[in-house]
């Protein structure tokens, strides 16, 4: 099973998700060529990232001859948001530390979780725009 946090840790993949979301709220397809143009990177690089997103279920592809059209599948992101909301009480900003344990391991774990929560909240904010 693909870890969605690993998939979305890459800035280019987050940019692709944002572009697909902005395409009429995620309900419109974008071709690989449109994504290449919008991102300003090579087609093989975009295709590599789209494969990772497709394998994780974040995007869906429709093939039309030699052309491929992608659209966002929000279900994995909604599931991720619901999981994170369990730690934040559904709050959109994290004002409390997730751990009180001040041992070295506790601080490290709390820091990792805080970073993950901030990343997801940032992604959710981009998607909602």
Residue whose tokens read 């940019």: 15
Q: Are residues 63 and 88 in the same domain?
A: no
Task: State pTM to two decimals.
Answer: 0.66
Q: Are residues 66 and 110 in the same domain?
A: no
Residue predicted with more confidence, 62 or 107: 62
Q: Are residues 63 and 94 in the same domain?
A: no
- Count of beta carbons in the 10 Å neighbourhood of residue 98: 15
List pLDDT tens digits, range 68-123: 999 999 888 888 888 888 887 765 554 444 444 444 555 555 566 777 787 888 88
Residue range 34-51: mean pLDDT, rounded: 94
How many domains are contained in the chain?
A: 2
What domain range is 43 assigned to? Answer: 4-72
The CA-atom distances, in angstroms, between 71 and each of 24, 52, 79, 98, 100 are 10, 14, 18, 34, 41
- Euclidean distance between CA atoms 120 and 49, whole angstroms: 19
């Amino acid at each position: 099973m693909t870890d969605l946090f690993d998939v979305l840790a890459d800035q280019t993949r987050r940019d692709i998700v944002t572009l697909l979301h902005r395409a009429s709220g995620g309900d419109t397809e974008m071709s690989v060529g449109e994504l290449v143009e919008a991102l300003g990177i090579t087609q093989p690089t975009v295709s590599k990232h789209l494969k990772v997103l497709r394998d994780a279920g974040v995007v869906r592809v429709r093939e039309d001859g030699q052309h491929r059209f992608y659209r966002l599948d929000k279900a994995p992101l909604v599931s991720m948001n619901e999981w994170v909301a369990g730690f934040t009480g559904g709050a959109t900003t994290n004002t409390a530390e997730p751990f009180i344990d001040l041992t070295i391991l506790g601080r490290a774990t709390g820091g990792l979780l805080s970073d993950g929560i901030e990343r997801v909240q940032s992604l959710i904010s981009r998607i909602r725009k």
